[in-house]
Structure 1
Amino acid sequence: MAAHSGRRQSIANTRPLELMTRSGGSLLLPRAYTELLDRWEQVTEDLVTRARICNRCRAQGPRWGAWRTPTPLGYVTLCPPCSGATFQRYTGRLRGVLYESARTRSTRADGYLCRLCSEARAAVWDHCHDHGHVRGPLCGSCNTYEGKSTAHSFLQDKEGAALHLLECRGCLERHTLPARYPAALARMHVEATERHIICTRRCRHVPWIEHVELAHGAYRFSLSCWWHKATWTKDVTVAETAALVREFVDQALAAEQAGAVVPAPRRPAPETTLQA
């Protein structure tokens, strides 16, 4: 057992024992302790493996507990098909209802499947902070992602994100999105369309957005191209941003009415056409 500043340090949370000895640059542990640590490692691995197995169909899931879901009796592991068969899918039961209403408080979210991932049991009622209306039941992971991730990441990475946000009656009636999303749509528009010019040719690289600020009725984006050491700014007015939001909402609703899966907005392939 090594000594430091008059205090003994433990290894792998084992208790200090006088039987520990040092031989040259090595610290020797008693055989009983090494066997105990080996057994502890094996038990931990066995528990992780068991936690990956669906409690119903016995399918093996991802290592880090993506299939784990809470129940009144504790956590269980359910694969997406078994979750879908166990919990009911949300069909708009509380659409238009205020989050603070008695009706919401009397309806449990954990009886539903998560509206976004459709894989885990819901844990909470997600709601629009701008208008106060319920949007739907979400699992803890999706609810955290919507609230803590950047707005453009949520729109780009979560399939069905747009329609989920439009479950709010206020957003749907106004054909708008919550306050933090217009800037995200303006950003995605800039990333998709803005390129600097190199010898009459558009750069093929997506610019890096260093900073954005809202001033004088416009979102001003500070952009840079690492490949060509170029920096510049691009303004998107509030009116232009509102038009982008309305177009985005209209496309999402049109796709829903057509019965198509609403794709997450992605960056298009960069253009390489010559500029006059």
Structure 2
Amino acid sequence: MSERVIPGRTGGLITLGAADVLWARLTAGSAVPTASAAFTRSPANARAGYVLLGSRVVATVEVSGGRWSVPEIEVRRAAAELNVVEMDRQNLVRIGPFRNAQKQEHNERTPLRWRQRITRELEELGDPERAARCDGGRPHHLAGIDWRRILVEETRDRTARTWWLPRAVVRLLDAAEHTETQWLQAARTRQESAAATEPPSHHGQAPAADGRQTTSPDCPTTPPRPYNGELKGHLYSVLSRKPGISRKVAGWMCAICGTAPAAVLDHCHEHGYVRAPVCQSCNTQERPDHLYSNDIRVANRYIRLFHTGTADWLRHWHRCPGCRARTTLPLPHLAAWTAHIACRSLRPTHRDPRGSRARKPCGALRVSWTGSHNAPGSCLLTVTVDLCPSGEHRVLARVPYREAAERFGTWLAETAPAVAAAAGPDRLDGLPTRFRPVIVDTSGEGLGLF
């Protein structure tokens, strides 16, 4: 079958308009919605020397007459990568707004910084006058992804609103942000090396309109390397103060999913040890939702951890020497496990209002505890059902901390014997003699690196 000819093709290069058409056509059946103007509308800027498509950088080339083109094969490769991404619209990650978020100036030449861009656009659209001036029917896309079509906005008490995106899209945009940073660093290094070793020449390639040299589509980037326990046993309070640690963290792949570049150092807030570098998506998935300093709600996204990749998550939590030696979990994680696993048979159910014979678990699980955070062994865990459809608020169980820890140890040996075998009370040397206070992140500001 002959391939359809695309107008504007010259020697493997196609115009930006033709690239828009090709991208939209190739990704029409993708689970992730894409924009129809990925090359020609903001924030895409071909004059910067590249355009982001999904997690891939597509270099742009200036041809005769000051026109810009892109290699057709690169557009096709980016579309093929995006088309294999699976997206669960129910598996959401909160992306804002967060308190004390850093304000940052934006223009057409700044890197992706997709969270700040989305926040800015949504704040503009929240003001009718600004929306009329700024919207103008423009497509809302980042890295070729039409994020407005999958954004979920939740409003509570008619005042507090939050924004959510599917986890698969968050990982794509995080990877795009990382790829762009690596690409710019590689391009800058090549320019500095060329300037240092070659005399000025008037026969080379013309610089781009913003002063940067247009780079080759084959400009190399250094891919993130797998994490192999290099930070094992390090205290977060010490490591986070070392210069250059943020750049070092960004050089690893996420130690949990292994598909996205790392962005933060996940650490045990109870014992203070670093677990591993992880991506933003896995970092939000790993953290229970604190309502108050001694109260958590066991959200559905967190419950999945005890059913999908359970051994991997348990192994990750036990990267903390304190948790591994005591064969337990930090207090909030142990509380969530107690509510969902140990008290599962106690949770009431309701008939599905849509007429299905299946019964749905009642409301949402909440766990609170009394006692000192410095000595979790004295805590009493209280498991409660909130948001019951019938208006009830039921106390399911009150479990002493020591009993919860013993139940967890038994369950761990049955569920993940390899993880349990690596734990035990024979590795207490060098561990703190008393627990650190549990540090609570109630606002989501922990999405920053440190």
Q: Is the 8 A contact 2:38 2:44 kept in 1?
A: no
- Find the counterpart in structure 1 of residue 9 from structure 2: none
Equivalent position SS for 1:180? helix
Match of 2:404 among 235, 241, 244: 241
- Assess if the C-alpha contact under 8 Å between 1:97 and 1:104 holds in 2: no
| Counterpart residue type for residue 91 of structure 1 | N
Using the size of structure 2 for normalisation, the TM-score is: 0.38
Aligned equivalent of 1:189, options 341, 345, 349: 341
Q: Which residue matches 2:260? A: 120
Q: List runs of 5+ in structure 2 lacking aligned partners.
A: 1-35, 46-50, 58-73, 86-144, 146-168, 187-221, 291-295, 351-357, 372-378, 422-450
Tell me by how many angstroms 1:257 deviates: 8.1
Counterparts of 2:349 and 2:420 in 1: how far apart (Å)? 40
Contact 2:254 2:277 in 1 (8 A): yes
- Report the counterpart of residue 363 of structure 2 in structure 1: 208
Shift in Å, 1:230: 6.6
Q: Which amino acid aligns with 1:187?
A: A
Say whether residues 1:171 and 2:323 are aligned partners: yes
- CA displacement at 1:256 relative to structure 2: 4.9
1:139–1:231 distance in 2 versus 1, CA, 3 Å: closer
Counterparts of 1:196 and 1:103, CA distance in 2? 44
Paired residue total: 208
User: Which residue is 2:153 aligned to?
Assistant: none
Q: Distance in 2 between matches of 1:197 and 1:137?
A: 39
- Report sequence identity in percent: 23
Cα 1:240–1:51 shift into 2, 3 Å = same
SS of equivalent residue, structure 2 residue 332: coil
For residues 117 and 149 of structure 1, do their structure 2 counterparts lie closer, same or farther at Cα, with a shift above 3 Å needed?
farther
Task: Output the CA distance in 2 between the equivalents of 1:220 and 1:53.
Answer: 44
* CA-to-aligned-CA distance 1:172-219 (integer Å, 9 cap, x gap): 111111121121011103662115599xxxx95423246543359643
Select the structure with the greater relative contact order (CA < 8 A; seq sep ≥ 6): 2
Task: Work out whether residues 96 and 133 of structure 1, in 8 Å CA contact, stay in contact via their aligned partners in 2.
Answer: yes
TM-score by length of 1: 0.58
CA contact (8 A) 1:186 1:236 kept: no
What RMSD, in angstroms, separates the aligned Cα atoms of the two structures?
4.2
1:136-172 CA-to-partner distances (Å, cap 9, x unmatched) read 1112332244346467443524732221111011111
**Residue of structure 2 equivalent to 1:34:** none
Change (3 A) 1:168 1:210: closer
Question: Shift of the alpha carbon at 1:74?
Answer: 4.5
Counterpart Cα distance in 2 of 1:227 and 1:215: 27
Change (3 A) 1:194 1:147: closer
Partners of 2:336 and 2:367 within 8 A in 1 = no
Distance 1:40 1:186, change over 3 A: closer
Structure 1 residues 226 and 104, CA, compared in 2 at 3 Å: closer, same or farther?
A: closer
Counterpart-to-counterpart distance in 2, 1:210 and 1:181:
13
